């Protein structure tokens, strides 16, 4: 999960698009200018109020016209070059919907076959992994990564115990209090997107937790060059690595960050400390 902060002037993009010589936009300015600007404003207004799932569709939007907007997304027109740059810039970073380490595509938060006018709207494009293919159509149950600042905080942790040197996985839990104003939304996103749309998510978490426990030096780089003598020293090293990784991926909600931070929980940290000083 990752907060997306784009600095895209969609109105300027439209103006550049109108001057294109492409047949796709031959008669756009007169027919589309007011309509698109109005719909863009509506999108932002509904999203900011967390009501994007109720944004009315355009009943008079003919299929032929809709196909033009859908085609623009993959057209490669110079006025839309930001789409390709946006995709390439985020290809090997964190999925903004589930936190996986491979955001290989751009997802239309509102699907372009239902809302074609938002095919090229930057606020509707989010870096995502394959979880976007099975994304719940009821988007009121998940959060939009361009409109919720709370994503900049750590949202989840993994609940587990260490028993006889094995990970006893007990699930992923919310790292926020029930009094949080978006508690229900964050809980719903976990249940209805992460756990449902990420194939094998919990098995992957078990494997990664066990691997980190078995070979901590492989994951915690500073352990190669220092000898741990206290719990406080180990905590500081883990916190420092988390800080670097969070800065690198611009989120505390990547999978690697989630796993490493979970070892700081008091239920397992003492056991992990003993493991680190005895191997």
* Confidence (pLDDT) at 234: 97
Residues 145 and 161 in one domain: no
> Residue 184 belongs to what domain range?
153-278
| Residue 247 forms part of a structural domain | yes
Instruction: Point out the domain boundary residue: 149, 170, 204.
Output: 149
- pTM for this one? 0.88
Other beta carbons within 10 angstroms of residue 4's beta carbon come to 19
Q: Does one domain contain both 186 and 161?
A: yes
Q: Which two tokens stand for residue 185?
A: 């939304």
Residue 70 lies in a domain: yes
Residues 6+ apart with CB under 8 A from 74: none
Structure-token pair, residue 112: 């372009």
| Locus of tokens 């990664």 | 208
**Is residue 162 a part of any domain in this protein?**
yes
Burial 203-213 (b: 16+ CB within 10 A, else e): eebbebbbebb
Distance of CA 43 to the CA centre of its chain: 19
- Give the Cα separation of 264 and 203 in Å (integer): 21
**131 and 183 share one domain:** no
Whether 4 is covered by a domain: the verdict is no
Give the phi and the psi of residue 80 in degrees, each rounded to 5: -115, 25
Co-location of 136 and 164 in the same domain? no
131 and 220 within one domain:
no
| Same-domain pairing of 173 and 119 | no
Q: Are residues 144 and 21 in the same domain?
A: yes
Residues 165 and 260 in one domain: yes
Residues 6 or more apart in contact with residue 225 via CB below 8 angstroms: none
Element (H, E) at 39: helix 28-48
Structure tokens at 258: 């989630």
254 and 131 housed in the same domain: no
Q: Which of 133, 149, 165 is the last residue of a domain?
A: 149
1 located within any domain: no
Strand, coil or helix: 179: coil
Of the residues 93, 118, 149, the one at which a domain ends: 149
- How many domains are there within the chain? 2
Per-residue pLDDT of the chain (279 residues; tens, 9 = 90+): 888 888 899 999 999 998 888 888 887 877 788 889 999 999 999 999 888 989 998 876 677 788 888 899 989 899 999 888 888 776 667 899 999 987 667 889 998 888 999 999 999 999 888 888 777 667 888 899 999 999 999 999 999 999 999 999 999 999 999 999 999 999 999 999 999 989 899 999 999 999 999 999 999 999 989 999 999 999 999 999 999 999 988 899 999 999 999 999 999 999 999 999 998
DSSP state of 56: P
Q: Encode 145-195 in three state secondary structure.
A: CCCCHHHHCCCEEEEEEEECCEEEEEEEEECCCCCCCCHHHHHHHHHHHHH
Tell me whether residue 82 is in a domain: yes
- Write the DSSP symbol of residue 192: I
Residue 157 backbone zone (phi > 0: left; psi -120 to 50: alpha; other: beta)? beta
pLDDT of 134? 77
Same domain, 180 and 260: yes
162 and 117, same structural domain? no
Same domain, 66 and 137: yes
Let me know if residue 5 belongs to a domain. Answer: no
State how far Cα 185 lies from the chain centre. 15
């Amino acid at each position: 999960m990752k907060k997306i902060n784009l600095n895209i002037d969609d109105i300027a993009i439209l103006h550049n698009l109108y001057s294109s010589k492409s047949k796709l936009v031959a008669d756009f300015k007169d027919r589309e200018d007011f309509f698109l600007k109005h719909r863009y404003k509506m999108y932002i207004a509904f999203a900011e109020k967390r009501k994007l799932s109720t944004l009315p569709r355009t009943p008079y939007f003919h299929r032929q016209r809709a196909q033009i907007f859908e085609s623009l997304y993959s057209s490669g027109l110079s006025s839309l070059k930001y789409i390709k740059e946006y995709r390439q810039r985020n290809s090997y970073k964190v999925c903004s919907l589930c936190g996986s380490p491979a955001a290989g595509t751009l997802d239309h938060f509102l699907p372009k076959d239902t809302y074609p006018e938002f095919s090229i709207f930057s606020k509707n494009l989010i870096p995502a992994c394959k979880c976007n293919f099975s994304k719940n159509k009821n988007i009121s149950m998940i959060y939009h990564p361009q409109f919720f600042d709370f994503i900049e905080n750590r949202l989840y942790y993994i609940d587990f115990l260490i028993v006889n040197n094995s990970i006893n996985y007990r699930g992923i839990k919310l790292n926020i209090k029930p009094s949080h104003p978006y508690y229900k939304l964050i809980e719903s996103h976990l249940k209805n997107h992460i756990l449902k749309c990420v194939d094998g998510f919990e098995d992957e978490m078990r494997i990664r937790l066990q691997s980190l426990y078995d070979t901590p030096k492989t994951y915690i780089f500073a352990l190669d060059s220092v000898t741990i003598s206290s719990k406080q020293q180990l905590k500081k090293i883990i916190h420092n690595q988390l800080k670097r990784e969070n800065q690198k991926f611009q989120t505390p909600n990547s999978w690697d960050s989630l796993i490493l931070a979970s070892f700081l929980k008091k239920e397992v940290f003492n056991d992990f400390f003993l493991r680190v000083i005895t191997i």
